[in-house]
A and B are shown apart, each in its own frame.
Chain A
Amino acid sequence: MHHEKLLIKKAIDNNKDAQQQLFTRFSPKMLGVCRQYVKDAHHAEDLLLQGFLKVFINLHKFKYEGSFEGWIRRIVVNTCISYLRKKNRIVLSDEDFVFNDVAAESLENTAVEDIQKLIDKLPEGYKIVFNLFAIEGYKHSEIAELLGVSESTSKSQLFKARRLLQDNYYKMNKTIHEKK
């Protein structure tokens, strides 16, 4: 912890070694976050670099109140969402869906990359809301504020993402069983 603080202080003073150490420590996790939102790995890496650039520029604003990783994660997520909002207009529908518990239990045994593939198949709006709510732990109010939509829209998007994810999971299991 003390070492991390020292590194942050050095990074604030434009110490390249400190900046590199921080980057090598947090970049793999943050690239995973970027990958949640963007299907293309190179594209995800570009977003990672953009996120870390913002991190080092605004490093002096960090107040050591929360975890440094969480602070970086938040910046990276915001970078990804702002990119997606600029690139594609996020279409959010008001359909509702309740996730099947059976599907959830079966999904626990599935590998992360397979789950990522299922998430990648989701439409942009569903995927963002699902990532923010289910993985990043954002509240609907926060998602609504971040995406510029109403809270109810965020909720409906989450349900819709879950239903589509479940459908895609069943389809994926079917093809696996058929191959076997």
Chain B
Amino acid sequence: MKKNKLDNSIKEKFSERTIEPSVSAWERLSVKLDEQPNQNKKSWFSYIGYAASVLVLISVGIYTFSEGEHAPTKKQIIVEENRDTTSIQNKVEQHFNAISNEKAIVKSEKGVKKQKNKLIGAKNIHKKTMALKDKRLVLARNGSLLKENLISKNKEKIRNVKIKENIPIIIPIRQEFKNKTSKKQHINRRITVDADDLLFAVTNSSMEFEQKDAKQIMSRKEMLKSIKIELKKSNLKVNPEIILSEVERTINNDIFQNNFLKSLKKRISNITSAIASRND
């Protein structure tokens, strides 16, 4: 499209045209120009602010996410700890149960083994001794010398049988008593001696506990021996196992255990006096 004459003439006229702006034009423009750098500064500061806020948000996000990652592990740890405590409790309970079972097993094993091995061979002899015991008791009640002589004769017979059969005669009887007394002891221990036994069981291994139990059994044998000796001295025909079991009932403290022999002697003397008074 070519420019025609009209366009050219108009262009020439407008190219030279000037219109003077108002007096306040420059002042208005200068005000706008003064505002402009401030706006730039503001924008610069605002950009810095935006950048800082973004950095803060990112850092907070990273911190929280990192915490969030750790939190579940902590929870897991807590759960694991709970599991540990329960397992410890279970272990403790098992240990306690195991101790009682061990006791029972030890005693029962001992009892059963001894009963199996020794009772079978000595059944007949045991019957004889039981009959003699009954006879002894009857004679003791009547208090006749003749019967005492008979008892002494029977005693001699028993002694002869003992000599012949050696240990199997005595052991079955003791074993029976042991079984009975062990049950009683077991019950008593549950009530009285549990604290010490449990403490010992917890603090020491099962083997050590068994050894301790064995020592106690051994000490009990010694006690029976000493009771027998005392009974022989006093010429009384009373079962030493019964006396021992009665004494054991009364002994709950270590103080009594220390003065065991004294209390045993007292008990025997009481029994003798009671029997004597009964005869009178």
B20 touches A28 (CB 8 A): yes
The majority secondary structure among interface residues of chain A is: helix
**Smallest CB–CB gap between B28 and chain A, Å?**
6
Decide: A49 near B29, CB < 8 A? Known: A27-B21, A101-B4, A104-B4.
Answer: yes
Partner of B21, one of A31, A112, A155: A31
- Interface membership of B5, Cβ < 8 A: yes
Alpha-carbon distance A165/B7, docked complex (angstroms): 11
- The interface stretch among A14-22, A74-82, A83-91 is A14-22
Complex interface bits, A96-138 against B, C-beta within 8 A gives 1, otherwise 0: 0001010111011000100100000000000000000111010
Is A160's beta carbon under 8 Å from chain B? no
Is the beta-carbon distance between B6 and A107 smaller than 8 angstroms?
Answer: yes
Cβ contact within 8 Å between A53 and B32: yes
Residue of B nearest to A41 (CB): B19
Q: How far is the CB of A105 from chain B (nearest CB, A)?
A: 7
- The answer on a CB contact under 8 Å between B7 and A133 is yes
Closest B residue, CB atoms, query A133: B7
A residues sitting closer than 8 Å to B (CB atoms) are: 14, 16, 19-20, 23-24, 27-29, 31-32, 35-36, 41, 44-45, 48-49, 52-53, 56-57, 99, 101, 103-105, 107-108, 112, 115, 133-135, 137, 140, 155, 158, 162, 165-166
Can you list 6 A-B contacts with CB-CB less than 8 angstroms, sorted by A residue number?
Answer: A31-B18, A103-B6, A107-B9, A108-B9, A115-B14, A133-B3
Apart from A28-B21, A31-B19, A165-B6: 15 A-B pairs, beta carbons within 8 A: A14-B33, A20-B30, A27-B21, A27-B25, A28-B20, A31-B20, A101-B4, A101-B5, A107-B9, A112-B13, A115-B10, A115-B14, A134-B7, A135-B10, A162-B4
